[in-house]
Amino acid sequence: MLLLENILMALSGLKANKMRSLLTMLGIIIGIASVIAINTVGNSMTSSIQSEFEEMGANNISIGVSQKSSSSETDEWGMTFNEGPHSTTMSDEDYLNDDILTDISEKWPEDIKGIMREASAGSGTVTINDDYAYVSVKGENDFGLDDAIDDDKLLSGRKFKNRDYTEARKVCIVSDYFCNNLYAGDTSAAIGQNVKVVISNKNYYFTIVGVYEYEDSEYSSTSEADTETSMYVPVDTAFDLLHKDSQYSEVTLATASGVNVDSFMEEVQDYINKRYYRNNESFEVSTFSMSSILESMTSQLTMMSLAISIIAGISLLVGGIGVMNIMLVSIQERTREIGTRKALGATNTSIRLQFIVESIVLCIVGGIIGMFLGLILGAVGSEKLGYAARASTGSIIFAIVFSMVIGVFFGYYPANKAAQMNPIDALRYE
């Protein structure tokens, strides 16, 4: 009951001295608002980056062929010998091939969802009368094509069928930019058309079976008519154009959910190097995952937010000192009231509790105002940066709890001073 009375008394005091209370709470408001706003913007950026990486395949593992690093050894007589790659040019046996990829797929069938295999057949031009379109011919397997073209981005036609892959058919999927240049934007009219692609002065003929929606880069300065877009063909068709067997300098593994990407990619790397590259003097396989970059970027953003929050939190210290100052002034103004209460039997504990509660209420009210102000500023800041606002629940809880801590910490000294007053001296105070 005594606690409720003290809270009501504190709220009454805030209402009676609105301007003084607001100025006292200003440091608390600014500090809490700054911390919440910074954390909201930081969370928004982190969530957006995580979403982008997930779309790009954060759990995918890239396997690439790279040169072996140089090393040096010193013999017992002190002579140093440098060992490094014997060749810097890759030969046919240095590349990854279908046999290696089939082997690792069969070794880890539950951990690998699929392998994205691709091959570039070069850039070329398709011309119909006076109209033209620039294309980059890319070979993809079924898993790679699904990653490159979402179902909702297929505007007309179809993706490749199983026979297109197994028979290395001369079929292709082109972009809507391609259709805009050559078929007046009619994507349906392009389906079934035979087109001639000129690559390095050689002519290749393909049948269009699908049209996808091309996403232009916002930083591109090239006009739509001159934009080079991807023309997708079955991966073995691309190798036929290159007159090569399957050769990959890099492939991408899509891992199943629940797989520890970091440990799994090391396991795959060690297996391939020991089995297929042990006797290769110049090249080896290395693995790479976007999850490690994502963790690093998330950690850096968190550290930046924390550092800026600490700097912003200095205003909380200033606000706490302001609370202590105003409480000392309030005690001085209410000296006779304190003396009267003690003369009527109020204990030191009740006097101390009264002023600590007043200090806590002052800080909590400031914290709540700062919380709402911080959420508004965080939402506006996130929107200006182009991110969806994501408030931090932790920072909101921190605002309320820290406000209470400030109230107790900076209110205890004035409250204790009031509790230790001599009632006779307090009643004589003018």
Residues 6+ apart with CB under 8 A from 334: none
- Residue 208: how many CA atoms within 13 Å on its side-chain side? 28
The per-residue pLDDT for 51 is: 65
Report the C-alpha gap between 51 and 294 in whole angstroms. Answer: 10
Report the C-alpha gap between 162 and 158 in whole angstroms. Answer: 12
Token digits for 267? Answer: 């396991």
Phi–psi pair at 265, nearest 5 degrees: -70, -30
Share in percent of the chain as helix, strand, coil (round to 5)? 55, 20, 25
What 3-state DSSP class applies to 276? helix
Nearest to 43 by CA among 402, 375, 292, 369: 375
The answer to whether 411 touches 324, Cβ cutoff 8 Å, is yes
Q: Say which amino acid occupies 381.
A: G
Q: Which of the 8 DSSP states describes residue 183? A: S
The per-residue pLDDT for 366 is: 83
Report the C-alpha gap between 352 and 413 in whole angstroms. Answer: 9
The per-residue pLDDT for 186 is: 92
Distances (CA, A) of 348 to 86, 171, 423: 87, 91, 11
171-175 and 202-212 strand pairing? parallel
The per-residue pLDDT for 364 is: 82
Nearest to 63 by CA among 252, 246, 263, 284: 252
Beta-strand (E) ranges in 217-346?
229-234, 250-255, 283-289
Report the C-alpha gap between 414 and 353 in whole angstroms. Answer: 11
pTM over cut 0.95: no
Q: Across the 430 residues of the chain, what is the mean pLDDT of every consecutive 10-residue run?
A: 65 70 77 81 73 62 82 47 58 88 91 89 91 93 87 91 94 94 92 93 94 76 80 94 86 84 88 90 85 70 72 71 75 70 73 77 83 86 77 75 76 71 58
**What count of other Cβ atoms lies within 10 Å of the Cβ of residue 234?**
26
Q: Say which amino acid occupies 406.
A: I
Residues 6+ apart with CB under 8 A from 200: 122, 124
Nearest to 243 by CA among 204, 216, 209: 204
The answer to whether 320 touches 284, Cβ cutoff 8 Å, is no
The answer to whether 402 touches 59, Cβ cutoff 8 Å, is no
Report the C-alpha gap between 67 and 90 in whole angstroms. Answer: 9
**What count of other Cβ atoms lies within 10 Å of the Cβ of residue 10?**
21
